[in-house]
Structure 1
Amino acid sequence: MTLGVAVIGTGRMGADHVRRIDSVIGGARVAAVADLDADRANAVAAGIEGCSVHTDPAAAMAAPGVDAVLIASSGPAHEPALLEALAHRLPVLCEKPLTPDPAAALRVLEAERRLGRRLVQVGFMRRHDREYQQLQLLLENGTLGHPLLLHCRHRNASSPSFFTTEMLIRDSVVHEADATRWLLGQEITSVQVLRPRPSSLAPQGLGDPQLVLFETSGGAVVDVEIFVNCGFGYEVRCEAVGERGTASIGGADGPVTRSAGRAGRAIPQDFTVRFADAYDREVQAWVDATRQGRVTGASAWDGYAAAEVCEAGVRAQRSGERIPVQLADRPALYA
């Protein structure tokens, strides 16, 4: 069976997923797309045989040949799209965040719990990155001993004009929140945010960079440098420090070019370059599992937990205090 996918949202991420499903991965086809901007949706769907175009996500999900849904719209639009997909009992791959706030995430969890089966996977693509998977294996098998520290860097060359200080946490550090929980197998129990003097390269009013500190249920401490106007490129790094050793990922790779009296490596300029393979692997794994009636990858519970961490992070930004993370009771569906 070729999986017919409705892609909701045809902006930068949605258009990239349409391209990926249509021409990169196997076992799926783009059956429908939906976007409030009809011209953009039509442009993305152009040339894809049998792909219907809609401005209403519900209409796209109900279109002929749709077996599953990929949600790539903006965060605030995720909850209604997720609830609609669950009402249709359609498997879903939802780009992060699951929802922008924990209350909405809990409503999605409850809708999925009532169905009695998992249908939602959250698009935390770092779980599908080869380096992150290697680091997770080292931590899981005890090669490094008990994990004590994670040192994380998350840098962007520049931020879009609409980016806010709160989005540093909800749209960027959310990745480190999920990666921390997944790498360590522990919950994040508190968040603190330290704010140095803003960079002169940051837009007016944007508190960039920041240092975010997580404490975990297993006694580890995680520091995250978030710097979205570093100026030189896109860089994501992580170093795990254990009792018996350390391991680092995200360092320089690729060929060294020597020319005109200089030597150096290229630095990716955005996430679509650095994590291109991870996105391909993530969507292929989702398609393969969905065709077999399974759900793998980050669950709706993982999306909810990340939302709670981000909520505490935003409060920590505003107060300067160490803010505890309080999670709801985990439903048996996600045990």
Structure 2
Amino acid sequence: MTNDARPPLGVAVIGTGMMGADHVRRIDEVISGARVAAVADIDEGRAKDMAAGIHGCGAYADPAEAMAAPGVDAVLIASPGPAHEETLLAALARDLPVLCEKPMTTGSESALRVLEAELRLGHRRIQVGYMRRYDAEYLQLKALLDSGELGRPLMLHCRHRNVSVHRYFTDEMLINDSVSHEFDAARWLLGQEITAVRVLRPAPSGHAPAGLSDPQFVVFETDGGAIVDVEIFVNSGFGYQVQTEAVCERGTARIGEAHGLMTSTAGRWGGAIAPDFLARFAAAYDREVQAWVDATRRGHVTGPGTWDGYAVAAVCEAGIEAQRTGRRVPVRMIDRPAFPS
């Protein structure tokens, strides 16, 4: 805890499902400088249950009512992606700082509407929740690449594996819900925009739900000449893994090997693999929300913003088209506008 005399930032958390509930816990129990002032969920009963254990927290079914509640200074959006645009525009209309879980919106056109609304406001208000930028290993890799010690990055090899997914998971969700993280991480690590995408499909795993082509292999190009490949395998059956290897002119660097505690016993050696993203990136989420709170209390917005949300949405659209057609699909984006500080 810090010795800060300023009152804590009052946060309205929109959406109290798995991700929203985890953020409510994080703000209430883990980070400093903030409190949960309101929660909102389409299931008002769930919102009331969430608010019941938090002093001074109101519960609402309507996000707009939560944002207008007494003591609310900022908004954390963890509702389903299709609801994000309306909530983001409402928050901008109130000039409230926002941390929005990815996706910022579910398409490039809606993302562009949010981006343009923020530009009209004249100052940044939205941070998008690409939490890998706050993971300790990703931060180390970013610093190494930026230092130039290994020379120019030529390729990134990425692996993204889940134990399993719900049976309603679709091919499009492989891109929008999973590989979207690699799209943002690659843009950030390389400092380059993605220009084209291809998707290759090996024979599906026998453990994939009917109708889901899993695993898939996504390859994309950047405007700096780098090539990135992503193995996405959401029914691996053994654990949650996110790994990246950067291949550079003078060496390579790898993260995500999960070399924590290793045991040797009974003729075997091994360790544990995280079961899901909340376990693997718990510290990154803590660091992300703390950084957002600290910056907001100073009157600033840091981290990935509306341009990043728009760029990833545009790449996802190209990825889905590539997935459907089997072709190399160029990414269609506007030129990057000048953003206010």
* Fold in common (TM above 0.5): yes
* 8 A Cα contact 2:193 2:223, kept in partner: yes
| Residue 228 of structure 2 corresponds to residue 209 of structure 1 | no
Q: What pairs with 1:50-69 in structure 2 (closer than 5 Å)?
A: 50-69=56-75
What TM-score do you get using the length of structure 2 for normalisation? 0.97
Q: Which whole-Å deviations, capped at 9, do the CAs of 1:239-294 have from their partners, x for residues lacking one?
A: 00000010000003211133444321011010001000000000000000000000
Find the residue that maps to 1:218 and give its secondary structure. Answer: coil
**1:297 counterpart residue number:** 303
Does 1:110 pair with 2:116? yes
- Could you list the runs of 5+ residues in structure 1 that have no partner in the other structure? none
Q: TM-score if structure 1 supplies the norm length? A: 0.98
Partner Cα distance (1:253, 1:90) in 2: 41
| SS of match in other structure, 1:84 | helix
The question of whether the paired residues in 1 share the 8 Å contact of 2:33 and 2:294 is answered with: yes
CA-CA distance at 1:2 after TM superposition: 0.7
Q: Secondary structure at the match of 2:339?
A: helix
Does 2:166 match 1:160? yes
**Correspondent of 1:194 among 200, 207, 221:** 200
Q: Partners of 2:157 and 2:314 in 1: how far apart? A: 21
Partners of 1:157 and 1:232 within 8 A in 2: yes
Give the aligned residue type for 2:261. P
The equivalent of 2:177 in structure 1 is 171
CA contact (8 A) 2:123 2:340 kept: no
* Cα-to-partner distance string for 1:86-106 (whole Å, 9 max, x where unaligned): 001000000000011000000
1:178-189 counterparts in 2 under 5 A?
A: 178-189=184-195
Verify the 8 A CA contact 1:6 1:66 in the aligned structure 2.
Answer: yes
2:275 aligned with 1:269: yes
Amino acid at match of 1:319: T
Match runs of 1:11-22 below 5 Å? 11-22=17-28
Matches within 5 A, 1:1-335: 1-333=7-339
- Between 156-165 and 25-34, the greater mean CA deviation after superposition: 156-165
Structure 2's unaligned 5+ residue stretches are: 1-6
State the SS of the aligned residue for 1:77: helix
Aligned equivalents of 2:107 and 2:340: distance in 1?
A: 19
- Aligned residue type for 2:173: M
Residue 334 of structure 1: how far off its partner (Å): 6.3
Q: CA deviation at 1:151?
A: 0.1
Distance in 2, matches of 1:134 and 1:334, equals 28
Kindly tell me the number of residue pairs found equivalent between the two proteins: 335
Q: How many Å apart are 1:163 and its aligned residue?
A: 1.1
Q: Is residue 119–residue 340 contact of structure 2 (8 Å, CA) maintained in 1? A: no
Deviation at 1:26, TM superposition (A): 0.2
What is the DSSP-based 3-state SS (H/G/I as helix, E as strand, rest coil) of the residue aligned with 1:190? strand
Bigger drift between 86-95 and 245-254 goes to 245-254
Once residues 253 and 334 of structure 1 are traced to their aligned partners in structure 2, the CA distance between those partners, rounded to angstroms, is: 42
Counterpart-to-counterpart distance in 1, 2:265 and 2:340: 54
Q: Which amino acid aligns with 2:85?
A: E
- Deviant stretches of 4+, over 4 Å: none
| Post-superposition CA distance 1:164-187 (Å, at most 9, x none) | 110000010000000010000000
